[in-house]
Chain A
Amino acid sequence: MRLYLTEGNPHCLKVVAAVELTGSRCELQFVGVEERVVPFLAHSKLPCLQLDNGNYLFSTNAICQYLFTLRGKEPSDLTNQWLEWEGTELQTALSGALYMAVVQGKREEAAGALQKKCAYIDQSLMKRSCPFLAADAITVADIVLWGALYPLLSDSTFLPGDLKALRSWFERVCAVAACRKAVESILKGKGLQALKPYLQKQPAPSQRAETPASNEPEGGESADRVLTEEEIGAAAESWSKGLSAWPKPKPIEHPVLPQPNEKNVLITSALPYVNNVPHLGNIIGCVLSADVFARFCRLRNWTTLFVCGTDEYGTATETKALEEGLSPQQICDKYHAVHAHIYQWFGISFDHFGRTTTQRQTEISQDIFRRLLDRDFLLQDTVEQLRCESCQKFLADRFVEGTCPFCNYEEARGDQCDKCGKLINATELKSPQCKICKGTPVVKSSKHLFLDLPKLEARLVKWLEDSMVSGNWTPNARFIARSWIRDGLKPRCITRDLKWGIPVPLEEFKDKVFYVWFDAPIGYLSITANYTDQWERWWKNPEQVQLYNFMAKDNVPFHSVVFPCSLLGAEDNYTLVNHLIATEYLNYEDGKFSKSRGVGVFGDMAKETGIPADIWRFYLLFIRPEGQDSSFSWSDLLLKNNSELLNNLGNFINRAGMFVCKFFEGRVPEMELNDDDKRLLAQATWELRQYLQLLEKVRIRDALKCILNISRHGNQYIQANEPWKRIKGTDADRQRAGTVTGVAVNMACLLSVMLQPYMPSVSASIQEQLLAPPQCNVLTEEFVCILPSGHQIGAVSPLFQKLETDQIESWRKRFGGQQPDEGSANQSKTEAKPAAETKAAAAEDAGKDADPQRAKQLAEEVTKQGEVVRELKAQKAEKAVIGAAVTKLLELKKQLVLAEGKTPEAPAQKGKKKK
């Protein structure tokens, strides 16, 4: 028999491993990626096996099983099951993940796409507690799954540390000689990147399998769940208890302080930079998400403190102050008020919204700094820095602009590129320019202090693994934190040559201030300290406090690595983050929000539309970029408002209330529950429990769906029972109409409580209309009859208004961008243009540096270093050693590209591969 293979084809791994493991005698033949070997298939399908009787096997799993069968290892039910799962479930997720990781360079999304499958394998392994998938010894199932997963899992960032069973199984199979050989012959030591030529030739996998259309919440299996008799009975019993056994809502008394033997939840949302008006993406990314969770925690009677504030120090403020001709302090005062006002309008329930330019901030930052210094976690070094001679100062961060060294975006800032998001050292910028006088700065040296992250790495890693296992970190947060550690930590500069900041309390650094990222997260502590003198009961109390950090994903490195290192090094029993909740990005009509181009809705404008804050909250939460990017779209906003709010939720609550008013003089009627009613109660209870579970895991967007499901059930219930007809019928009919109305209005009351975290004003108006008792505002696992028969309700009026298309269109035009006539479709064009220009400019630029002599020399060095890396890997050297060698190799390659006069590739695909 003859096996046809292609290099860099991931499907070949398992087949070759099976050949090696079974010691099968078969001829291996490597062919081109698109070669058609199987005569009856219209498209190329590789690998494939030609049998001695001339027939062909084109299914990789069938090939593997065949080789095992030849050795007398017949399939079992369990191996069959794994092979079928691999073919139907894993491969769909995997083809998407590989494509994202290798071709598109979207590694986090790739990890996310694979996460559920990895968890499934992990659970199965744990349940069986076998070393291998189907038996105590290796079987075809192990080879097949290993081969499928190897390309991604061999990169440790794709292998979550908390999936211990999966990890040890994977390592066990990797160690098998046959598998090692397969890797060598298919990937040729190039790792994931070896797959690139193959994957690029494949059509982009459709998203349908794992990633639902981005604006629709996940799941859907709950629609018609089968309820057991026990569930139905229990729901009916809970209902009948009424408010008598109901817990009382805990009154909030400021200052809120942690209580012994209670659940104490400390919630922060990333501190917004003071110098800008936040856009909708900023709002959903941190403050709004954190607010929903804080409100939820309070409804659960947990001791909850929610703090936030504006981040005011740093170059950004100085720049803005220059622009507007104000002092930095004036700028901060002005914009702090703008922020506070916007969040107030959105109904964000901070316990305290503070700012970082306070005395407390200085005290705490300098204290942490001194502790770090005393414990020898700070290094001193000289830094090459850009200095503008005409302005007579060092130009830190944002006082410089230039071309991004990674993606060639022309307007990259000195600290980060807005286009590719990479952190940049200002000196690396190409053609730098002083932002103040537009002159060209020169490189000068300046002394600075560094936080010694490598020295703290061991502590960090230990803490991080514990926190990720016991806490609830979103997948992107886990991934980003792991990537940082995997890429190796470097000392990180914590001082800056600036005026607007916290002074460094050392004589020889008296002209310098702390780098804003050193002190900004300390703002959480100081803002709490400005709220209560007993702030340490929250912040130096890891035993009693659970800390949740909310942010957009670009903030993850600082919250998961840099700031924890400061706190760990300070050794003062600080409360470190237990749950890091990071969102993806929200786009605007499929483009980016951009203040400078005037694209998108910003916090202050939302109000001007006349759409109530709660509608904004609802829509933003409904499309919350949870797990993947999502888009704000005007027409979708209209659709969701008119369908979900108006026709579903609003319609149900309004009808329930109206029936009480119209048919029963505003008094909740007598209720005699039959089986249908009890079933409905059980259904609502089930959704309520789902909601609680999801919110506890901070899956805000998914939990919102439970609310809408309950009102959907409610609408069906009313529709099926037609109380408006029965009310005119016999006594029994009237009785039935009463029961249905009573149950419905109680469901409306339950909805008002569940809705509170999402739409606080709407929740309040429902309760006002129903005259619901204030003590109903607690969430438990039970749905009880809160409005007993005889309860008088108030005047009922509609909760939501229809949005009209022409209204929406006018807003779309207004917020679409600077050229409103062009419409949104053209937006992407205008955006694409500067990128193309930059590329051309960069190519020119790079061309100038071309140097054939140097190129030749570099090419040799690259080859040599490549061998060193391979050698190290072959010897299974320590990760750090390999990592360093790889870094050197990449650096050489970069130089080589420059010397050859080419444009360096964006590092998104390049820098991240390794191993």
Chain B
Amino acid sequence: MVEKMLLELLSLEKSLGLKKTNKYSTQGDKVPVLQTNNGPSLIGLTTIAAHLVKEAQQKQLLGSTAEEKAIVQQWLEYRVTQIDGHRGKDETRIILKDLNQYLEDKVYLAGDNFTLADILVYYGLHPIMTQLSVQEKEKYVNVSRWFNHIQHYPGIRQHLPSVVVLKNRLYTSGH
């Protein structure tokens, strides 16, 4: 789990165009830690990710208005508590169902703008999406659409294999 997070952070660094490589370690084999030069180390995936975004001077990725910032933070939290904390098929289904409903009228998680929430939720959902059948991907059509969009967003996919999402529906009666 933690290795996965470290890979995500390295990918994020590349996506953000950060040149110097940061030093990472882990805490208790489950939480990533960033060793900073000036001050104490930072602990936790979303905390470190937000820090990298600021370092790269791309604060818009954390949201532009107070509302957007709050929504970004909410989905970052959702990533580490719900998506990473899920166990069993039932909970996965709830996550996909909720997200599908939420994304019905949205392009990105925060609405119209691409943010860090899209990146980290995309990373978090990746193992779930690879497990889904074509039929299931159609069932959660909004999630699939959003997911496909993010994985094709320039410089985001990095280390992860692409997940095939069909654009033409196979099971038209299913929805």
Contact = CB atoms under 8 A, between A and B. Distances in A.
Contacts of B42: 77, 81
A175 interface: no
B66 A59 contact: no
Contacts, number: 88
B81 A221 contact: no
Contacts of B101: 39-42
A119 to B, nearest CB: 14
A203 to B, nearest CB: 11
Interface in B68-108: 69-71, 73-74, 77-78, 80-81, 84-85, 87, 94, 97-98, 101-102, 104
Interface residues of A, number: 33
A53 interface: yes
Contact of B66 (A58, A66, A88, A91): A66
9 contacts: A43-B94, A55-B71, A57-B70, A57-B74, A58-B74, A80-B44, A85-B43, A87-B81, A88-B84
A842 B51 CA distance: 63
A62 interface: yes
A87 B44 CA distance: 11
Contacts of B85: 88, 92
A59 B73 contact: yes
Given A42-B97, A51-B67, A221-B29, A62 B73 contact: yes
Interface string A741-782: 000000000000000000000000000000000000000000
Contacts of B28: 221
Nearest to A70: B66
A822 interface: no
A570 B94 CA distance: 65
B73 to A, nearest CB: 5
Given A84-B80, A85-B44, A62 B50 contact: no
A92 B78 CA distance: 14
Interface in A60-109: 61-63, 65-66, 69-70, 75, 77, 80-81, 83-85, 87-88, 91-92
Contacts of B144: none
Contacts of B80: 84, 87-88
B151 interface: no
B158 to A, nearest CB: 23
Interface residues of B, number: 32
Contacts of B51: 77, 80
A577 B45 CA distance: 45
Given A66-B67, A69-B70, A221-B28, 6 more contacts: A51-B67, A62-B73, A62-B74, A81-B42, A84-B47, A88-B44
A57 B71 contact: yes
Interface in A33-61: 39-43, 51, 53, 55, 57-59, 61
Most buried by B among A58, A77, A92: A77
Interface string B37-57: 000001111110011000000
Interface of B: 28-29, 31, 42-47, 50-51, 66-67, 69-71, 73-74, 77-78, 80-81, 84-85, 87, 94, 97-98, 101-102, 104, 111
A83 B69 CA distance: 15
A61 B111 CA distance: 20
A84 B70 contact: no
Closest 8 CB pairs of A and B: A66-B70, A62-B74, A84-B44, A40-B101, A40-B102, A59-B74, A81-B47, A80-B47
B67 A53 contact: yes
B44 A61 contact: no
B47 A69 contact: no
B69 A66 contact: yes
B47 A41 contact: no
Contacts of B77: 59, 61-62, 83-84, 87
A65 B70 contact: yes
Given A84-B47, A85-B43, A221-B28, A69 B81 contact: no
Contact of B94 (A42, A62, A208): A42
Contacts of A75: 50, 73
Nearest to B95: A42
A220 B111 CA distance: 42
Contact of A69 (B31, B44, B66): B66
Nearest to A124: B40
A811 B101 CA distance: 57
Contacts of A66: 66-67, 69-70, 73
**Which has the most chain B C-beta neighbours within 10 Å: A39, A62, A75?**
A62
Given A40-B102, A87-B80, A88-B81, A81 B44 contact: yes
A55 B66 CA distance: 12
A69 B72 CA distance: 13
Contacts of B78: 59
